[in-house]
Structures are given as C-alpha cells and as structure tokens.
A and B are shown apart, each in its own frame.
Chain A
C-alpha cells in the first residue's frame, strides 16, 4: 500500500486589527480544519499566541527603561543585549514547536511560526493523512 503525505491545503489565519496595530490573530475556526482538530484546541493555541505577542509588545516600565537606556547609549546597547521582544519571540518559537509535536503533527497538521511570514499570518499546512483511513 502506498503511503503518501501530500500537502492537501494550506490555511492562513489572518491578523485581527480590531484593537489597533498590535499583533493579534483571528480566533475564528477555519472550516478546512473541521474534521482534523478540536475547535477548542485550536482557539486555545491562537489565544495563547495572542497573549504572548501582547506580552512582547506590552507598554510597561520595562520597555520604557529599555528604550531610554538604548537612547542614552546611542542605541549601541542592543549590540550586546537582547531586547524583550526577541526574548518573547524565542518563547513563542518554543511554544509552536511544542504544539506541533504534541497536538498538530499527530493530526497531520503543521503550524508555521508567524515571524517567518512577517507576522502577517499563521500558516497551517494540512497533510493528506492516509494512515487514518486504514
């Protein structure tokens, strides 16, 4: 029996601009994923991502201090220090990898880190899963 894993389709979760230019993704469940994954599970993933991006872009005392310090050192401090945003992006990359390993890959789906698409979309690749039809 031939086992193939072709890419059936790709779903793109677009950005949600209702609260401004902050990086948030729509939690609307796409119809192509209906028989692949739980709606709850999907929404939980997207909400977790949204929360992490909100944390990265949070306007708090930490980001202001970082900004002022950078300005005073003529922005040379970023050559040796990682910004708060970058730290959170690493956390997001780890989270996506974890979600892929535990939840999405067993169902023949694959999440792409939005940073690779310019933070515009969350790309979900749907693989044709023949093993389930045996």
Chain B
C-alpha cells in the first residue's frame, strides 16, 4: 500500500506564531473566534460584530445628549402652550423629526463606513515584487505612487504603508481609526466614526434632518415668546419665563443652528458636485492649481445625477466579513491515511453565514492579519478532499 503522506502546504506561505500553536490544543473545546475579534484596526464592535464604532468615539454621547435635552425642553415648555394656541401637529412634527434624527445618527455611527481590509501577506509580497526596489533595505523607500487614467484624467494612487496596498481612488487612510476607508469624507468626532462610502447618505440625512429640527424648534420658540408677549406681558418678561433665561442655552442654540445650517449647505454643495470633504479641502480638483487643468473625473456633470448617485445609489456591502469565523485545522481530520502525523497547524476559513446555497460557498483566504497575528493560507475543505481523492486514485492505480 502506498504511503500517501499529508499534503504539505508550502511552509513559506505559513508563519505560525508560538501562541497559536499553543492554543491549538486548547481550542478544540472552545468555539471558533470571529474575524472581528482579531480585526487589526482601531474599532469597537457590538452585537457580535454587527455594529461598528471607532475606538475614538469622540463626543457621540454629547451629541445624543444635546439632541435629547433640547427636544426634551421643547416638548416640556413650548409644546403645551403651542398646542393650546395653535395646533396639535406641532409636537407631532417635532416627534417625527426627532425620531428621524436619532435613527440617522445611530446609523451613521454604527455603520461600517467602507473600511478596506488590509492586504494579505501574499498580496503585499506580490505588490512589493512589482515595485522596483533597487535600494537597500535599511532605509524606508520613497513614497510609492502609481498613476492611472480615470476618464482621461491622471489620478495618482498612493501606497498605504499600514495596509500594504495601493489605495483605490478616493480612498484615504484614517489615522484615528487606523483603516483605509473608501470614498473617505472625514472623521466626524460628533458621530464617533468615519464618514465614507457606505454611511455618507446616513450622515447627510442626519445633518439635513437636524437642520430642519433645529430650525423648527427655533421657529416654535420664537412663536411661543411672541405669543406670550402679545398676551399683555412685555417681551423681556416672556423671555424670562422660558428656558431662554439661561444664557448658556441661547449660546448653544445660536451656534449650533448656524453651524448645522452651514454644514448642511456645504455638504449639499459637495453632493451636487460629487466631491468629498477630503478632496475639497486638499483642492484635488481645483482648476486653479498651478498650470494643470484638473477636473473632477467622478462627476456626472449634472446636479441631479450627482445627487442621485451619492444619496440613492446602490448600497455596497461591508467588505470586512467580520462575522466569519476563524477555525483551527485540528477540528478537521480530513487528511490521508491514519498514522500520518499531523503537520504544522493551519488556519481554515469557513463561512458560517447563512447562505442560500445548499453547501457552504468556498471561502478560501487568509485572515487579514498583520505581523503580530498568525498569518496562514488555507485550503477549502472541498478542495482538500478533491486533492486527497486524486492522490488516492493515482496511488492505487
């Protein structure tokens, strides 16, 4: 009988740290970890990886607090008076706007903005090979760029040293979240997350609805004070009876209304011209830059089309696959004849999401790891079985 040995995986492609080798024995009884638990960026995950937030959540609680307190004061002080004197629809409209603002805010904060997974070690090595590195390895090579043509416009793609890949166009690396984000707009401390391709529409609806809400509340407050002063009291007396007697309240209201309205106007301009805040600030497509005539290659040259594309376009899915499980090979005794020793451990990727297909889809790939994490290539179960079957068939003939 032919001794069919275990198919060696190229050891160059595997680099297993002592930690994972140690854990091998312990892992059998434990449930497999999910990818989000080993995610290299600076993010926090909730609900088993379904909600994502930046580790630097900034002032998100303050934002929520301000919105809730302002609306609370509005419903407590202004609504009873206005319902009596005007219409019941005032708190109804206020309530609807409030709900819309809160939902948009939560969606913006907890949605993956379009984080790009880092390059696998093989991919990084392949890219390095393609770049001409004739210098010595003791110094950091000069910044690497690649020029491509998009709609007859020259665009420079920069190399990201953290993610080890050339950034796609309109992608930028956020230092706060330590991730490359597609169509990167800005990192917003008020929502505690980056604003990128996937959550820009939520962010835009948040600021627009917030503008409406603040303008609505402001209008109602003015109406309230005016009506009170018309009832025989002077304007000063009317103000003193409302929360506007607290100067801090007035200051916050004044600044927030103007900044939010200003921001909404600015983002409306960006949406209409298909630009990001990042590009606008850097002046990437400003035609006044030197002698170069550079135009925005992404615009559709129509305000309506630009708006539709940015706000109502197809919603790309999250590309991080954080719900996938990382499983250790000791769980799968699928190797050749018994008696062959198990070789170095390898990490298998098995898609554990509910898929409509009757069999698990072949998910072959490395975990997106950096140097401190074990990096391994994997073989799909089916493929290994097929190769083993081939081996047996050839061996027996």
1/0 per position for B287-312, CB-CB distance to A under 8 A? Answer: 00000000001100000010011011
Closest to A127 in B: B387
Contact of B232 with A by CB under 8 A: no
A4 touches B7 (CB 8 A): yes
CB within 8 Å for A3 and B170 given contacts A63-B312, A94-B357: no
Contact of B83 with A by CB under 8 A: no
B201 touches A59 (CB 8 A): no
How would you classify the secondary structure of chain A's contact residues: helix, strand, loop or mixed? mixed
B interface residue numbers (CB < 8 A to A): 2, 4-5, 7-10, 13, 99-100, 103-104, 107, 116-117, 119-120, 122-123, 126-127, 148-151, 155, 165, 168-170, 183, 201-202, 205, 297-298, 305, 308-309, 311-317, 319-321, 355-357, 361-365, 377, 380, 383, 386-387, 390-391, 394-395
B8 touches A6 (CB 8 A): yes
List, in ascending order, chain B residues with CB within 8 A of A75's CB. Answer: 103-104, 107, 202, 205
B394 touches A131 (CB 8 A): yes
Contact of A116 with B by CB under 8 A: yes
Extra 8 A-B pairs, beta carbons < 8 Å, given A7-B13, A56-B314, A83-B314: A21-B169, A64-B308, A70-B315, A75-B103, A75-B107, A112-B365, A123-B120, A127-B387
Contact of A110 with B by CB under 8 A: yes
Q: How far is the CA of A58 from the CA of B312 in the complex (A)?
A: 12
Q: How far is the CA of A64 from the CA of B13 in the complex (A)?
A: 45
List, in ascending order, chain A residues with CB within 8 A of B9's CB. Answer: 6-7
List, in ascending order, chain A residues with CB within 8 A of B315's CB. Answer: 66-67, 70, 78, 83, 85
List, in ascending order, chain B residues with CB within 8 A of A112's CB. Answer: 364-365
Among the listed B7, B148, B311, which residue makes an inter-chain contact with A17, where contact means beta carbons less than 8 Å apart? B148
Among the listed B10, B305, B356, which residue makes an inter-chain contact with A7, where contact means beta carbons less than 8 Å apart? B10
B365 touches A123 (CB 8 A): yes
CB within 8 Å for A118 and B361 given contacts A56-B314, A71-B311, A85-B314: no
List, in ascending order, chain A residues with CB within 8 A of B321's CB. Answer: 115-116
CB distance from B40 to the nearest CB of A (A): 13
List, in ascending order, chain A residues with CB within 8 A of B357's CB. Answer: 90, 93-94, 97
